[in-house]
């Protein structure tokens, strides 16, 4: 996977300043960081997303891209342009703008829901009211994120309505549920995990919710084995952030059949797409093995 900024584009060639080249595999995975200029061939099989199906016109200099190479590795297969995501608790809703609290690590933001996306968002989020959860796939704009589609298949609800797992419930060796992605920003590539220990130097949040499934506690820097149950790709991924926001959601992914309830992990965009996830779909069915590879 490659993330970076478009420098130039022609019908058959994309030039970008690449910030990250990510190569997940079934072993240790790989991650090369540092901005370099990369040239990628584009062909008839290259698809572009920019708030929906896009084309060459979307590849304007200065725009951010996440690129999945073609299957033969010789060019760009799938390109997401200026894609981002807003998920959290609604603070206020005025006109076409929703203020969202995205948790202690990501702060607050405002997302515009334009008329062309309003009905699609309303299907999954019929109550745009303070206290309810919202999750929308967005495209960046000079005025901030604009919603394109809901990022979940489940209606929004209040996180306080969730029942915590039974304290006597056994913690499984393999956690199964939903994997989603988050904007990343300056966060190193890796995973936000819902149960980072708040004791000592582990790096967890003291007031993190328990979520709706039992999790083993981990520390920042721990490795987890992540497997996309839809496509079979797997990798070892470091825990880089406390996923206390993910613990607020108890939804399912329906990318391939229906996953068990619960967001097991949030991944940075390059890791999510590198494991075969479609950023515009928002999730894939996942199996996570804490502390061990597949």
**Domain end: 122, 144, 159, which one?**
159
The model's pTM: 0.91
Average pLDDT of span 124-136: 95
Same domain? 119 vs 204: no
**208-252 tens-digit pLDDT:** 777 788 899 999 999 999 999 999 999 999 999 998 889 899 999
The rounded distance, in Å, linking the Cα atoms of 236 and 220 is 14
Q: Residue 39 sits in which domain range? A: 2-81
CATH code: domain of residue 134 = 2.40.50
* pLDDT for position 279: 98
- Give the model's pLDDT for residue 22: 55
In this predicted structure, what is the pLDDT of residue 27? 46
List pLDDT tens digits, range 182-197.
986 677 899 999 989 8
Residue 174 has pLDDT above 90, yes or no: yes
**273 and 175 in a common domain:** yes
CATH code of the domain covering residue 186: 2.40.40.10
- pLDDT surpassing 60 at residue 66: yes
**Boundary of a domain, candidates 103, 136, 159:** 159
CB atoms within 10 A of CB 291: 12
At residue 165, φ and ψ (nearest 5 deg) are: -65, 150
Does one domain contain both 155 and 229?
Answer: no
Phi, psi of 178 (to 5 degrees): -115, 140
Q: Are residues 189 and 249 in the same domain?
A: yes
Q: Are 130 and 90 in contact (CB under 8 A)?
A: yes
Same domain, residue pair 166 and 264: yes
Please check whether residues 155 and 167 belong to one and the same domain. Answer: no
- 240 and 166 within one domain: yes
Same domain, yes or no: 171 and 275: yes
Q: Give the list of residues 6+ apart from residue 88 with CB closer than 8 angstroms, or none.
A: 100, 101, 102, 103, 106, 133, 134, 245, 248
Least confident window among 85-89, 197-201, 257-261: 197-201
- Out of 42, 57, 81, a domain closes at 81
Could you tell me if 275 and 166 lie in one domain? yes
Split into its structural domains, the chain has a count of 3
238 lies in the same domain as 184 = yes
């Amino acid at each position: 996977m490659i993330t970076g900024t478009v420098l130039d584009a022609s019908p058959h060639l994309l030039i970008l300043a690449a910030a990250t080249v990510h190569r997940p595999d079934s072993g240790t995975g790989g991650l090369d960081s540092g901005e370099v200029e990369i040239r990628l061939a584009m062909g008839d099989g290259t698809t572009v997303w920019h708030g929906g199906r896009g084309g060459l016109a979307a590849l304007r200099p200065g725009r951010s891209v996440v690129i999945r190479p073609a299957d033969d590795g010789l060019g760009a297969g799938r390109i997401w342009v200026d894609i981002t995501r807003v998920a959290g608790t609604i603070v206020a809703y005025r006109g076409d703008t929703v203020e969202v609290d995205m948790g202690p690590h990501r702060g607050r933001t405002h997302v515009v829901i334009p008329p062309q996306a309003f009905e699609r968002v309303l299907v999954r989020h019929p109550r745009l009211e303070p206290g309810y959860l919202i999750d929308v796939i967005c495209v960046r704009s000079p005025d901030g994120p604009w919603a394109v589609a809901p990022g979940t298949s489940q209606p929004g609800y209040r996180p306080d309505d969730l029942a915590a797992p039974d304290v006597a419930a056994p913690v499984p060796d393999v956690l199964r549920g939903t994997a989603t992605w988050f904007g990343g920003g300056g966060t190193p590539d890796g995973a936000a995990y819902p149960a980072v220990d708040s004791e000592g130097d582990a790096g967890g949040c003291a007031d993190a919710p328990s979520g709706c499934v039992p999790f083993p506690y981990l520390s920042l820097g721990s490795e987890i084995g992540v497997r996309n149950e839809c496509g079979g790709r797997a990798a070892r991924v470091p825990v880089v952030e406390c996923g206390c926001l993910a613990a607020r959601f108890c939804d399912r992914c329906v990318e391939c059949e229906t996953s068990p309830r619960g967001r097991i992990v949030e991944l940075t965009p390059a890791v999510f797409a590198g494991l075969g996830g479609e950023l515009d779909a928002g999730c894939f069915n996942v199996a996570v093995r804490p502390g061990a590879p597949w």
